[in-house]
Copies of this chain bind each other. A is one copy, B any other.
Amino acid sequence: MSGARMRVISLETHDIRFPTSAELDGSDAMNPDPDYSAAYVVLRTDEDEKGHGFAFTIGRGNDVQTAAIRALEGHIVDRDCSDLGAVYQDLIGDSQLRWLGPEKGVMHMAISAVMNALWDLRARREGKPLWLLLAEMSPEEIVSLVDFRYITDALTPAEALEILRAAEPGRAGRIAALREHGYPAYTTSPGWLGYDDDKLRRLCKEALDEGFSQIKLKVGADLDDDIRRMRIAREVCGDGYPIAIDANQRWDVSDAIRWVQALAEFGPWWVEEPTSPDDVLGHAAIARAVAPVPVATGEHVQNRIVFKQLLQSEAISYLQLDAARVGGVNENIAILLLAAKFGVPVCPHAGGVGLCELVQHLAMFDFVSVSGSKEGRVIEYIDHLHEHFVDPVVIRDGGYVAPEAAGFSSAMRPASLAAFTYPWGQYWTSAVAQSSPAAEARRTSAVTHPPVLKGRSA
């Protein structure tokens, strides 16, 4: 998409870390002690506009992620970035940087952060929330944003255009519907592994009372515990209420099959991340073996090429895109189109730092312009760290309220940046941090390492 000149004159990075591991709100089978963090980037134009983006990490390595974003400076600064299709091609096409992936891991998340910041900039300039900016684009403009390399065996540009054109009728009505009713959400709050049975029961009840369409329980540490917890959740929520389970990549293929079969009597809505996100054939084997329990994955899927294969092999029944792992808005449009082509509903991953804020825009765009449907679709919601954002998500009646502020909801509050910049922000140099269990770890480990604490997880 091209438009009036948009000249970026600076790229500023911040290593932001929140001491979430100290709060002990939960844990999952793979991530016992995350410090939710963001490698945060601010782009400025010669007209003093700003765009904000970030890669989400869980602590150590956030400095490496920040360095990766800085390595893209030469592609962005002192350049007209108005054509967001061309900038994206330039970033993913740098043959030297591509060697570090290609299109995966730290470098790809850096591209995501920068592209999302450019989209925030563009949406602010247009005075629209990102979802609406995208929803009002023509099918041709949307297709021009996508890199079809390596996916044409599943989706051609012509097929993408057809999908978008088929969804054109009714777009205005769906925009109005979003503004009136929002987009359904599910909550992971009841399901952390660390909670006792009473707390699980109470939080399940609260989720129902708050109107959420679905809940999710973390599983995978101990099968007997999982059976007991699933039974409790089913008792509280009632038959038919969607209760998903999430193993966070804990299992090998045969473990996954055995475990899910043992939980099948409680009717899990889906089983999420049963094994490695790289294992397409493994997911497909699990899906065949545990049917009719559907398989979901995506938060750690590295790019459109792996999503393509998960769809081609019928490995997933729900696609959980992440707003900040693949190459930003452009690649997520490709992924939404692939999902539509295969008729698989997209239920985005959220939580972390600001992922709810970002991903709502993509799900709403999907509803207006791609799938045209909310059927079988929900956005994950986790209630933490929203207070650090200038335009935090608003949840009403168990759903996301359509954002109206211009931009991608990606800007963090200046006070939060000042406090949680690692390691020299006010929080990290404060008496609280110094006297926490983190202090000893900070003194004894390498300077690049944040404190090692125990607690809440993604």
Which residues of A are interface residues toward B (Cβ below 8 A)?
A: 30-35, 57-61, 63-65, 67-68, 70-71, 73-74, 77, 94-109, 149-153, 249, 252-254, 275-282, 285, 300, 302-303, 305-306, 308-309, 312-313, 445-446, 448-450, 458
Contacts and interface: CB of A to CB of B under 8 A. Distances in A.
B31 A281 contact: no
Q: Which secondary structure dominates where chain A touches chain B?
A: loop
Given A306-B278, A448-B71, A107 B61 contact: yes
B95 A33 contact: yes
A32 B106 contact: no
**Top 5 A-B pairs ranked by shortest CB distance?**
A105-B105, A59-B96, A106-B106, A73-B446, A74-B446
- Counting every copy of the chain, the complex holds 2
A67 B65 CA distance: 9
Contacts of A285: 153
A308 B306 CA distance: 15
Contacts of A96: 33-35, 57-61, 450
B57 A64 contact: no
A107 B282 contact: no
Contacts of A149: 252, 276
A446 B252 contact: no
Contacts of A108: 105
Nearest to A278: B305
A58 B30 CA distance: 33
A107 to B, nearest CB: 6
A35 B97 CA distance: 11
A68 B74 contact: no
A66 B282 CA distance: 33
A74 B302 contact: no
A60 B106 contact: no
Q: Select the residue from A149, A153, A449 with max chain B CB neighbours within 10 A.
A: A153
Given A74-B449, A102-B249, A151-B252, 4 more contacts: A58-B96, A70-B448, A100-B106, A279-B308
8 contacts: A33-B95, A58-B99, A59-B96, A64-B107, A67-B67, A150-B275, A152-B252, A153-B285
Contacts of A64: 64, 67-68, 71, 100, 106-107
B71 A61 contact: yes
Contacts of A103: 278
Contact of A280 (B32, B34, B277, B281): B281
Contact of A100 (B34, B105, B282, B312): B105
Nearest to A94: B60
A450 B61 CA distance: 23
B280 A61 contact: no
A280 B70 CA distance: 32
A350 to B, nearest CB: 15
Nearest to A93: B30
A305 B458 CA distance: 23
A100 B61 contact: yes
Contacts of A305: 276, 278-279, 282
Contact of A446 (B77, B151, B253): B77
B30 A150 contact: no
Contacts of A97: 60-61
Contact of A65 (B31, B100, B309, B458): B100
B106 A70 contact: no
